[in-house]
Amino acid sequence: MTLVSSRREVLKSIVVGAVALPPLTLSSVFAKNNEVLGQNLNGKINHSVCRWCYSKIPLETLAQEAKKIGITSIELCGPEEWPVLKKNGLTCALPWGEGATRSLDKGFCDPANHEALIRDFTDVIPKVQAAGYDKIICFSGNRRGMSDIDGMRNCAMGIRKLLPLAEKHNVTLVMELLNSKVDHRDYMCDKTSWGAGLCEMVSSDKFKLLYDIYHMQIMEGDVIATIRKYHKYIAHYHTGGVPGRNEIDESQELYYPAIMKAIVETGYKGYVGQEFVPSRKDDIASLSQAVKICDIA
């Protein structure tokens, strides 16, 4: 049998078989894995979920459902919410503060924001340590006509003022990489290379990056190669389906098992936060599916 005829026979058998068999998708693969694994996750990924994506669910309920799935952190929670997490045996892998600390558009790249940012971070950093956490999110803010290098210098100037306090309390400031193309127009820290440059300029292990896979796929793609190149600057990861920021299954363009494998191969031991917005009726089912997709063997 020639190679051509052999290939033709294989294709014919696939077509015939397709009549009788259901399509194989990420959903069906991981549904099968659910039957085998139950809640016994593999442990290579520490699973977290972002609070705001499930804001219609009471935090107490979300905490209880997250634990059933095998999630051990609910993040982007402020000080007023931390007691609920502790009550339910959960941590907050990436907290946020109050006031100026939550502003995405008025961040460190503009010196006019530094006074408010330093005041509010100075207030919350000791609270982060007292709660038993070791990171807090921060943002660059918007460009407003500023050049990349000026924005980087301004960010470094503001962040350095907080480093003695961060070092004293063993808290890492983690700046999020966001896309400026779709969701956060004009945001300064919108490329991994820029964020890495800022890390070099700040030159402290108490300042690192949040690599949001959804945002960086939109801005630059090449996700796995970028993670491998810049992983030493990354302290946290977020997920999200592209396009649309919905479920991370076959409905979008990224293959998350391979991305998780690449993250683990860098030696990363931190958390991966699910930050997609569920588009289906059962939010918790979508969250459970996402954890299974990321739970690589």
Q: What is the pLDDT of residues 220-229, one digit of tens each?
A: 999 999 999 9
The string of pLDDT tens digits covering residues 172-217 is: 999 999 999 999 999 999 999 999 999 999 999 999 999 999 999 9
Mean of the pLDDT values across residues 270-287? 97
Each residue of 40-71: b (16+ CB within 10 Å) or e? Answer: ebeeebbbbbbbebbeebebeebbebbeebbb
CA distance 125 to 96: 10
For the chain, domains (ranges, CATH) are 46-294 (3.20.20.150)
Cα distances (Å, whole numbers) of residue 294 to 23, 131, 220, 257, 280? 21, 28, 22, 6, 19
**Confidence bin at 39 (pLDDT 50/70/90):** low
d(CA 246, CA 233): 27
Q: Phi/psi of residue 234, each to 5°?
A: -100, 125
CB 40 within 8 A of CB 69: no
How high does pLDDT run on average in the chain?
89
Per-residue pLDDT of 54-66, as tens digits, reads 999 999 999 999 9
The pTM score is: 0.87
pLDDT in tens, 101-141: 999 999 999 999 999 999 999 999 999 999 999 999 999 99
